[in-house]
């Protein structure tokens, strides 16, 4: 990769991931929200890979990125952040920052492992069908084992907590990610995939340091900036500067920086890893691929049932099954070279998790919400029909529009109607005051700039 392309890749990844991570915290959150930055980063890697097969099939990398980043979303971190920022002096600054280092490392390291091992699997040179199946069967076993070793016992009422505990009352699950990290690291070493090992540690390190730096900035905004003398430093204490959003965007920037720097640093090994013996991906499922695709669509349809039921058991089951439904199962099929699943995971799923959040999950009293629910669902059905029955490929440009313009426009469409009578009185009946004296205006201006840069580059590429 040339010096110019390397610099461009790094800058674009930094800004795009800063937006994507900030958007994650704005609209969806959790595991599903983490899919957006993963998909964005996968797409950028495909664009700058210098590999025509990867570029033409960018959706494979977007799918690997989104499903790989999903895992880290299971880790609770609200109380972890609170350890270092909710009071002055902090409740436990050292513990809080160490915890973020650990969680940031695991989140981005696992993303890198899934991406690199997925690419290795697609070549057909490193894994057999049996080995891939064993890898995925071991995942829940290893994750549950490490969860119980590191994050249990936990009983808030009896004040029983794990020996290594990074929260105040909440159950933690970072041990599961630690187990997955060690499993995938061991596989990378055994299979002699040096890029996977090195890329994992680079991404993990940037994620770890990034979260610490991001949190220090949030602490400054919340606790110290108001006492500073300089007007610029005092600016960070204003309500229009959302401290939490500052933290998210800085973390995303570091994540994008690390993911792109890792590719640039180990580009020769990346090229060696992705070199194909023939100009196509490994597809061991053959003609049976469509059967798995339709089975997966049926699973997604079943998952929607809990939105129309008040059964607590069904809600709990749906929450547990989200993990395999939205990450592990599609990830496995992408490892097996399923083009349909890669396209569905990189486009429809990124569309659908947004629709689920704003139309089915978030409580709101917006006008015409039922109409939007029906409209969004109908569009989702059209997208799936186009992909499966008509083999329509949503290309790079329209995918970028989904990741950027769609998410931003409809997030604003959800947020801005919250300007109600109470808000009007508080901000002197001025919508502009409401917009720019809260973080909505500043945050979304920043998002729009990032989206414009990202989108314009892709359209001019």
Q: What is the pLDDT of residues 52-70, one digit of tens each?
A: 999 999 999 999 999 999 9
pLDDT level of residue 421 (50, 70, 90 thresholds): low
Q: What is the mean pLDDT of the chain?
A: 91
Q: Report pLDDT for 394.
A: 93
User: Residue 192: which region, alpha, beta or left (left: phi > 0; alpha: psi -120 to 50)?
Assistant: left
Say if residue 239's pLDDT is above 90.
Answer: no
Q: What is the mean pLDDT of residues 416-426?
A: 62
* Percent of the chain predicted with pLDDT > 70: 94
Say if residue 435's pLDDT is above 80.
Answer: no
Q: Report pLDDT for 278.
A: 65
Say if residue 422's pLDDT is above 60.
Answer: no
Say if residue 349's pLDDT is above 60.
Answer: yes
Q: Report pLDDT for 253.
A: 97
Say if residue 212's pLDDT is above 80.
Answer: yes
* Percent of the chain predicted with pLDDT > 90: 70
pLDDT level of residue 381 (50, 70, 90 thresholds): very high
Q: Report pLDDT for 335.
A: 98
Say if residue 140's pLDDT is above 70.
Answer: yes
Q: Is the pTM of this model over 0.85?
A: yes
Q: What is the mean pLDDT of residues 117-142?
A: 96
Q: What is the mean pLDDT of residues 278-288?
A: 87
Tell me which of 49-53, 148-152, 275-279 is least confident.
Answer: 275-279
């Amino acid at each position: 990769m040339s010096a110019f392309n390397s610099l461009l890749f790094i800058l674009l990844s930094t800004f795009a991931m800063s937006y994507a991570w900030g958007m994650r915290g704005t609209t969806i959150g959790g595991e599903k929200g983490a899919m957006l930055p993963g998909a964005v980063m996968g797409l950028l890697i495909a664009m700058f890979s210098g590999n025509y097969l990867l570029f033409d099939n960018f959706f494979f990398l977007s799918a690997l990125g989104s499903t790989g980043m999903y895992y880290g979303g299971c880790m609770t971190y609200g109380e972890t952040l609170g350890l270092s920022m909710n009071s002055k002096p902090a409740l436990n600054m050292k513990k809080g920052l160490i915890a973020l280092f650990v969680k940031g490392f695991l989140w981005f390291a696992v993303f890198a492992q899934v991406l690199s091992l997925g690419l290795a699997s697609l070549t057909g040179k490193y894994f057999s069908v049996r080995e891939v199946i064993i890898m995925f069967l071991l995942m829940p076993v290893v994750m549950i084992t490490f969860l119980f070793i590191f994050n249990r016992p936990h009983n808030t009422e009896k004040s029983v907590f794990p020996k290594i505990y990074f929260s105040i009352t909440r159950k933690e699950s970072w041990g599961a990610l630690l187990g997955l990290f060690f499993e995938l690291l061991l596989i990378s070493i055994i299979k002699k995939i040096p890029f996977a090992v090195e890329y994992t540690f680079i991404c993990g390190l940037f994620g770890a340091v990034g979260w610490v730096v991001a949190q220090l900035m949030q602490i400054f905004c919340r606790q110290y900036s108001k006492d500073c003398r300089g007007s610029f430093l005092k600016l960070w204490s204003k309500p229009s500067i959302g401290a939490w959003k500052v933290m998210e965007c800085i973390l995303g920037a570091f994540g994008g920086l690390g993911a792109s720097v890792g590719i640039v640093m180990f580009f020769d090994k990346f090229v060696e890893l992705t070199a194909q013996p023939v100009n196509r991906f490994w597809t061991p499922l053959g003609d049976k691929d469509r059967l798995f695709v339709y089975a997966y669509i049926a699973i997604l349809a079943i998952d929607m049932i809990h939105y129309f039921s008040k059964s607590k058991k069904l809600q709990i089951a749906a929450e547990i099954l989200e993990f395999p439904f939205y990450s592990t199962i599609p990830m496995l099929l992408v490892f097996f070279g399923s083009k349909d699943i890669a396209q569905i995971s990189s486009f429809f799923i990124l569309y659908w998790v947004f629709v689920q959040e704003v139309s089915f999950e978030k409580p709101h009293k917006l006008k015409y919400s039922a109409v939007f629910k029906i409209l969004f669902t109908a569009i989702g059905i059209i997208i799936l029909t186009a992909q499966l029955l008509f083999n329509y490929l949503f290309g790079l440009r329209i995918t970028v529009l989904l990741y950027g313009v769609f998410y931003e426009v409809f997030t604003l469409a959800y947020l801005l109607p919250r300007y109600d009578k109470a808000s009007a009185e508080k901000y002197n009946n001025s919508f502009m005051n409401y917009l720019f004296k809260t973080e909505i205006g500043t945050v979304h201006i920043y998002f729009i700039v990032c989206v414009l840069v990202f989108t314009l580059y892709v359209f001019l590429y």
